[in-house]
């Protein structure tokens, strides 16, 4: 695959994501991080340092993104962004913060940190509900005044909202929610599933290890009662890449395309209308 090459002895990766928290104030259907199931977990600066130090000298991300869950819930957001900026300072790396903008006002230093480390803020809009839009427009108007900070506002609501463009990445189904249970697809075509997957380039840095995609990473944080063992046990045995890996293992990891675990995802693109996330 074309997305593997060396860059000053580092291995190139298309996209690296780090969750500042698994918690979210919204509950969006089909979240690739399962955050609508009230996951817990807050990244501390101490843990983040360990995670970044494990990989920053070995990989060169084209894009690195701090997100969640909702990252503004984490009281250490600015410190985490600073660490991300220092760990991946290359001008060839696009640094991003993706947020729903609900709690920007909890972080008075945010604009300074974003400007200093050239981190773009991406605000995603998740609903066309009038009350929500009123609130979000206030946050957007505020961010628009932040000079020297790159910003992008994307409409992820699934519905047209005047003044906001749709995100290129459409909201698609990645698993089945059936009453109290979450179920995998069983299309038995991992190659096709990988080909249509919108999350396949998004390696996750979690627990100091590299993981193939958000689904396989955060699945294990979902309450076991929601995951029938008979259908999930093989997927939950997935082994991420340890920082002790060899260079050859790292190169192989970032270049591999479909894997057996891709069998848990649909082999066709299934778009759906997103319900109210409140
Ligand atoms: S398991 Fe494979 S197909 Fe499913 S989300 Fe991850 S990379 Fe995509």
CB contact at 8 A, 124 and 92: no
Structure confidence by residue, pLDDT tens digits, 50-79? 999 999 999 999 999 999 999 999 999 999
Tokens of 1: 């695959």
Q: Which pLDDT does position 179 carry in this prediction?
A: 83
Cα dist from 179 to 157, 200, 227, 255, 270, whole Å: 23, 27, 12, 37, 19
Chain segment 17-37, per-residue pLDDT in tens: 999 999 999 888 888 889 888
Using DSSP's 3-state secondary structure scheme, residue 1 falls into: coil
- Per-residue confidence (pLDDT) for residue 7, from 0 to 100: 47
Ranges of the chain with pLDDT below 50: 1-7
Q: Which residues line ligand 1 (CB under 6 A)?
A: 174, 193-194, 197, 199-200, 212-213, 215-216, 261-262, 264-265
Average pLDDT, the chain: 91
All domains of the chain in start order, with CATH: 6-264 (3.20.20)
Give pTM, 2 decimals: 0.93
Q: What is the pLDDT of residue 167?
A: 62
CA–centroid distance, residue 135 to ligand 1 (Å): 34
CA 122–ligand 1 middle distance (angstroms): 24
Q: For residues 176 and 183, is the Cβ–Cβ distance under 8 A? A: yes
Take residue 276 and report the two structure tokens written for it: 């109210």
Q: What is the pLDDT of residue 79?
A: 98
Distance 145 CA to ligand 1 centre (A): 38
């Amino acid at each position: 695959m074309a997305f593997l090459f060396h860059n000053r002895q580092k291995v190139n990766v298309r996209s690296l994501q780090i969750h500042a928290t698994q918690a979210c104030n919204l509950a969006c259907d089909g979240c690739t991080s399962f955050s609508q199931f009230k996951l817990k977990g807050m990244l501390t600066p101490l843990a983040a340092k360990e995670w970044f130090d494990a990989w920053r000298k070995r990989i060169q991300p084209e894009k690195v993104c701090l997100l969640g869950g909702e990252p503004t819930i984490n009281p250490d957001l600015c410190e985490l962004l600073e660490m991300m900026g220092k760990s991946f300072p290359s001008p060839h790396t696009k640094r991003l913060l993706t947020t729903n903008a609900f709690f920007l006002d909890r972080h008075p230093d945010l604009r300074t940190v974003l400007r200093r480390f050239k981190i773009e803020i991406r605000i995603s809009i998740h609903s066309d509900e009038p009350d929500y839009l009123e609130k979000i427009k206030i946050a957007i108007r505020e961010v628009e005044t932040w000079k020297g900070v790159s910003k992008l506002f994307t409409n992820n609501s699934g519905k047209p909202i005047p003044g906001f463009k749709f995100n290129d990445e459409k909201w698609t189904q990645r698993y089945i929610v059936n009453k109290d249970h979450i179920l995998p697809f069983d299309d038995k075509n991992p190659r096709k599933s990988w080909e249509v997957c919108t999350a396949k380039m998004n390696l996750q840095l979690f627990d100091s290890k590299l993981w193939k995609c958000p689904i396989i990473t955060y699945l294990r944080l979902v309450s076991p009662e929601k995951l029938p063992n008979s259908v999930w046990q093989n997927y939950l045995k997935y082994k991420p890449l340890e920082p002790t890996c060899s260079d050859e293992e790292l190169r192989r990891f970032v270049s591999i395309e479909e894997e057996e675990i891709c069998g848990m995802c649909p082999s066709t693109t299934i778009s759906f209308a997103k319900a109210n996330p409140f």
